[in-house]
Structure formats: C-alpha cells, structure tokens
Amino acid sequence: MKHAKFSRILIILMIIALLLPAGGAYASSDDEPVTVQPQTAVSYILSFSTSNDIIGHAHVYVTSSGIASYITSKITLQSASLGSSVYSDVIGINPSEYTVYNKVSITHLCNFPVSNNKNYRIKIEITDKVNGKTAKTTLYKTLTR
C-alpha cells in the first residue's frame, strides 16, 4: 500500500520534471557531492528509502535536453560505518544498470539489501547521448529510513 502511494507520487513528480525549463533541476535535500560535466541530462528526481530496514528501494528519474540516442543509468550501493561519512561500494552487490534508446527520459527502479548497522547511499551514474554529444553525470542519494 505504501509502495503504491509512493509510486503515484513519483509519477506526479515525473510529470512536473518534464515541465521544468531546460536549465536543470536537482531534486535532493542532501548536501551530497555532485559531479557534473557538460551535460544533456537536465532534471533529476532521486529517492532511496526503506520501510522495513531490510530492502532499500532506489528510484531514479532523469530527463534529457532532447531525444537521446541512449540514456544509461547505473546505480551502485555504497555503505559507511555508523558515524562515518566515508562511503565505499558494497562488495558482493552488483550495480544495477538500465539503458533506454531514443527517449527523452529514463526511469530506473531497483532494490538493494540493507541493514541497521551501516549507513547507505546510492551512487547514480547517468550517461546519455543527445545530438551526437555524450555526457556523464554522477549523483548521490543517502538512504532515508
């Protein structure tokens, strides 16, 4: 029930994101580092949450400045010891990767195992190609419990 409500909210936010001007928007309340190169991906909606402290639900929605030959989203689970802000990739958990072709946006949903004895975040790498220009953007989103 909670997941269905979240999905409806996510769809509404996606529609709003499509209406944003091409200047770009980064929808995150975190003060996480953001690495941005010259980009064609212009708006982002990111969510990483858990309702049961066992599974973290990652939701990534990205729009490009035009129809992209391809858009690839790669989501990697990272963890840090409690009280630490030094994150590293979780060993034994493969990143989730998803690609769409000839689209203006991508929606990437995946789940990762989590526990209460660590802090978690996801690293999102977006690569797209619009009008022959390939760009890569790296974003981070911490787990909301």
Distance of CA 4 to the CA centre of its chain: 19
Whole-number mean pLDDT of the chain?
82
* Selection from 46, 8, 54, 6 nearest residue 126 by Cα: 46
Looking at residue 12, its pLDDT comes to 55
- The pLDDT of 69-95, averaged and rounded, is 96
Q: Which band of pLDDT confidence, cut at 50, 70 and 90, is reported for residue 65? A: confident
Residues 116, 98: Cα–Cα separation, whole Å: 28
Q: Report phi then psi at 71, rounded to 5.
A: -135, 125
CATH number of the domain that residue 71 is part of: 2.60.40
Token representation of residue 49: 């949450």
- For residue 33, the cross-strand partners are none
**Residue numbers of the domain that contains 76:** 2-142
Domain count, the chain: 1
pLDDT over 90 percentage in the chain = 62
The whole-number pLDDT of residue 40 equals 76
Q: Can you give the C-alpha Rg of the chain in angstroms? A: 15
SS3 93: coil
**pLDDT, position 27:** 44
